[in-house]
Structure 1
Amino acid sequence: MKAEIGWSTAIATGRDDIDDQHRKIIDFLKILGATSSAEYENKAVDDVIDGLSDYVKMHFKHEESLMDSFDYDERDKHKRIHAGFVEKLDGINRDDLHNGSGSEKLFFIIYNWLVTHIVSIDRIMIAKMNGEYDDGIGSETVHKQTGIVIENAYELAARIMNVNLQTSSTTDDSHKKRILYDISTSTERLINLMELADSRVQVSGCSNFQLKRLGEIRHALTKSADSLAVTAAKKIVRLCSDILSGKQGIPLGIGDILRRQMGRVASLAAVIGGLDAMSSTAKSAAIEANELAGKILEMELGSAASLQDFDIVEK
């Protein structure tokens, strides 16, 4: 079941053109929520996602034209945030959506990002454009919101650690698979929350207690990301090994598949702090996955791939 979503005056910016466009984005999400499992499997959902992506990009261009129309001091930062979200949207794994496993993640990424962005970024932009922004009141509000984000992240990190403990106590493969999926989606949510928390702390600062909380959250996130990196890398190793051994043929579009999968490993490595910060198990698995993926890409494309191509190592 998808989360119930809809427009609310609680996320209105007070500017009709922006609010109308935000409503339209939510309408796209409603369509995705009404999409049946069969439609996910036959890829009919791709048209909706493409429409959503095109509309979001148009909306961002509209907002950015407004930013350029007045002396907006956070213009560059706001545009970078837009670009980062477009990158995430374009990076949606369609294969996961087609088998239904990525639909909940898609909802979380878009809906929660949109709500957070409207409340913490767009409203301030509109207030500044209208000359109504009170920096004193705004700062107090930002501090409170930062605290809420950190506490939400802390609660989610604790939940991930508790769920992680269940993996060692279950022998049921199907149950373990559900647990691992839960950890994966929760970790993605935590990564998003930590990105938001870090950006807010850089702007408004936080208390020593909150800094301690952030350290504990980051520790839990690193452990979870490391474990997920091992799982993701080993999945690539198995696929590539089967192809190289002749156990299976080269699937159509294998290059795109491997680049997406290696991109996920690279993203997890970045969360951990880079290849050298990963555990020895995760690092070895990532390197092996990359080497084998490079061989497959060379077979398909006639060009070798390296760790650097997948952005796993710092440049």
Structure 2
Amino acid sequence: MMIPWKDAYDIGIEKIDCQHRQLLVKLNEFMDACNNRQGAEKIEETLKFLKDYTLEHFGSEEEVMEDIHFPELADHRKEHAQFVKTVLELEESVKAKGTSVLTTIKLNRMLTDWLINHISKCDKLIAAYMNQQKGTA
């Protein structure tokens, strides 16, 4: 089942929205592979993408938050760090034990949860705060 991009996921910061769309494309490719019983082959590629992606994307996002003096920057950073830790743990697990159905399910669930909860809730706060700052400026 593919997850379509919803306008509700847009936070209104072009660079960040583009990166979020990229993540969704990757998530859908991975889900598609899982549905075709090819999740195991695709998991390493997906984890590698995530490692590179999180470095670039979280860097961009944190830069924006610093620029606007976002009050919840520390909490947001913690969530980013937790996500990276989970990706690295999954990668270690795959290296040590190989891929299992459980790892593919875990990665799938983690990405879906991140997309739905983090982007549509936490990242939205950045845009809301930014707009509020513009309103008071």
TM surpasses 0.5: yes
State the Cα distance separating 1:20 from its structure 2 match: 0.9
- 2:105 and 2:98 mapped to 1: Cα distance? 9
Q: Does 2:66 align with 1:65?
A: no
Aligned partner of 1:17 among 9, 15, 18: 15
Spell out the pairing of 1:241-252 with structure 2 (5 A cutoff).
none
The 8 Å contact of residues 37 and 100 in structure 1, kept in 2 or not, is answered as no
SS in structure 1 at match of 2:78: helix
- Cα separation, partners in 2 of 1:29 and 1:114, compared to 1, 3 Å: same
- 2:100 and 2:21 mapped to 1: Cα distance? 28
- Cα separation, partners in 2 of 1:108 and 1:39, compared to 1, 3 Å: closer
Please list every run of 5 or more consecutive structure 2 residues that lacks an aligned counterpart in the other structure.
none
Spell out the pairing of 1:33-182 with structure 2 (5 A cutoff).
33-35=31-33, 36-38=36-38, 40=40, 43-92=41-90, 93-94=93-94, 98-131=99-132
RMSD over aligned Cα atoms = 2.4
SS in structure 2 at match of 1:102: helix
Q: Which has the larger displacement, 58-67 or 119-128?
A: 119-128
- Cα separation, partners in 2 of 1:73 and 1:46, compared to 1, 3 Å: same
Any idea what the Cα deviations from partners look like across 1:75-120, whole Å, max 9, x if unmatched?
Answer: 1111111111111111113267723332222111111122211222
Number of corresponding residues: 130
- Cα separation, partners in 2 of 1:108 and 1:44, compared to 1, 3 Å: closer
- 1:130 and 1:97 mapped to 2: Cα distance? 46
User: Partner amino acid for 2:110?
Assistant: I
- 1:112 and 1:8 mapped to 2: Cα distance? 15
- 2:61 and 2:85 mapped to 1: Cα distance? 17
User: Partner amino acid for 1:81?
Assistant: E
State the Cα distance separating 1:27 from its structure 2 match: 0.9
- Cα separation, partners in 2 of 1:54 and 1:113, compared to 1, 3 Å: same
State the Cα distance separating 1:56 from its structure 2 match: 2.2
State the Cα distance separating 1:52 from its structure 2 match: 2.3
The 8 Å contact of residues 15 and 126 in structure 1, kept in 2 or not, is answered as yes
User: Partner amino acid for 1:45?
Assistant: I
- 1:44 and 1:81 mapped to 2: Cα distance? 25
User: Partner amino acid for 1:6?
Assistant: P
Spell out the pairing of 1:204-243 with structure 2 (5 A cutoff).
none
- 1:107 and 1:124 mapped to 2: Cα distance? 25
The alignment's TM-score, normalised by the length of structure 2, stands at 0.80
- 1:83 and 1:11 mapped to 2: Cα distance? 21
- Flag the structure with more relative contact order, 1 or 2, with Cα contacts below 8 A and sequence separation at least 6: 2
Any idea what the Cα deviations from partners look like across 1:196-245, whole Å, max 9, x if unmatched?
Answer: xxxxxxxxxxxxxxxxxxxxxxxxxxxxxxxxxxxxxxxxxxxxxxxxxx
Kindly indicate which of the two structures has a greater share of residues assigned to helix: 2
The 8 Å contact of residues 67 and 75 in structure 1, kept in 2 or not, is answered as yes
- 1:97 and 1:11 mapped to 2: Cα distance? 34
